[in-house]
Structures are given as C-alpha cells and as structure tokens.
Amino acid sequence: MKERGLLIVLSGPSGVGKGTVRQALFAQEDTKFEYSISVTTRKPRQGERDGIDYFFKTREEFENMIENNKLLEWAEYVGNYYGTPVDYVEQTLEDGKDVFLEIEVQGALQVRKAFPEGLFIFLAPPSLSELKNRIVTRGTETEALIENRMNAAKEEIELMDAYDYVVENDNIELACERIKAIVLAEHLRRDRVAPRYKKMLEVE
Ligand code: 5GP
C-alpha cells in the first residue's frame, strides 16, 4: 500500500503575501507538492486562466458544490466565495502525493477540523517580530496608533494558535526555503517512517 501524501496548508492574515510565496514556491523546479486549484466566484484578473489559477464559477454553481459536499472547505472573502474541491485533494493524497492549499484563515480552520493530521503553516508578517522594537525605539507614534498596531498584532498572534509552524515572510526566497524544510522534516517524522521499517522487519 502506498503511503498517503501530506496535506500542506499555507495560510495567514490578509495581505501577508500568501499568493506571492505560493507562486514563488511553484516556480521552483524542485517543488514536489501538487497545488490544489481552488474554485471561486470572483471574476478572473488580467492573465488568469480557468483551470490554472482558479476554477471560475457562478454563485449558483458554487452553492451547488456546497450542497453536494464537493468542497473540503469554503469561505466568503470580500464578497466572493472561495473553496477547495475535495475530490482532487482526496485522490491526490491517496496517490501518495503531497497537496498544497493556499487559503485564507477561515478555510484553514475548517481544514484543521476535517484533517487534523494536516501540516498547518502560518505565514506571518515580518512586522510582527519587529513591531515592539520599532514602537519602543521610535517613540514618535501616537498612543492611539501604538494601540491599534498592538491590537492588530495580538489578533494575528492569536490566529497562529491553530497552526503547527510559523514562517515569517521577511523575504520570499527564505520563506520558500523554510516551507520546504518543514515539509521535508514532516516526512521524516518517526510516526510516518516507523511503520515502513516495522513492515520491512515484519515486527509488530
Ligand atoms: P485572491 O482573490 O487574491 O486570489 O484571493 C483572496 C484570498 O482568498 C487569499 O487570501 C487566498 O489565500 C484565499 N483563497 C484562495 N483560494 C481559497 C480557497 O479555496 N479557500 C479559501 N478559504 N480561501 C482561498
């Protein structure tokens, strides 16, 4: 029996650069994950192609997919639906390949419930770690601005709790390297590897 692939979920706050990191990752030849193309009701942007960037659907078609349990997760984001086709994910994992989802945070939480064994990576804005430092050293921010920023940072940190790993997006290439390192390490986890060895030695 083939070993099942890993379900890798990259998510994080809006504007952190999830799409950019995902594109950079898949532009690299040695990336071996399969990208799960999402379904959306938003209109294609310049240069986007149906079946490559997204499967572009009407609201009615999307709602039919929800009703017929065709989506692993879905969310409404800035007035449009986005969702992950479940059949593709299941089939690809079954074939022993790793599947990569790049989705917003609500969807990631749903996947966490359906696939607790998935690998959840939170892409964090670089400002988060520097934030306190900057606020303290600058000393020029107004009280209100500091509070706003600290509140935004707190919300982002709380979102992290549902994830296994945090990758800071301070540099796109570095972020890609970190993601690949995490996936490699995940494949080497004892609980994934041991059954293979035990089978080989035929011990229980
Ligand atoms: P955009 O419209 O800029 O391509 O994507 C908007 C947001 O939707 C991004 O945060 C992206 O990660 C998220 N997104 C893309 N596909 C999916 C999906 O299948 N499910 C969910 N929940 N979010 C998605």
Which residues contribute to the annotated binding site for ATP? Answer: 12-19
pLDDT over 70 (residue 134)? no
CA-39 nearest atom, ligand 1: 19
Percent of the chain with pLDDT over 90: 73
Q: Whose CA is nearest to atom 7 of ligand 1?
A: 104
pLDDT over 80 (residue 137)? no
Residue type, 121: I
Query: What residues does ligand 1 touch, defined as CB less than 6 Å away?
Result: 18-19, 38, 42, 73, 75, 77, 82-84, 102-104, 106-107
Q: 167-171 long-range contacts, Cβ below 8 Å, gap at least 24?
A: 167/121, 167/122, 167/123, 167/124, 168/124, 168/125, 168/126, 168/128, 168/129, 169/12, 169/16, 169/17, 169/21, 169/123, 169/124, 169/125, 169/126, 170/126
d(CA 151, CA 148): 5
Domains of the chain: 1-33+98-204 (3.40.50.300), 37-96 (3.30.63.10)
pLDDT over 90 (residue 154)? no
- Residue-wise pLDDT tens digits, 68-89: 999 999 999 999 999 999 999 9
- Residue-wise pLDDT tens digits, 188-199: 999 888 988 888
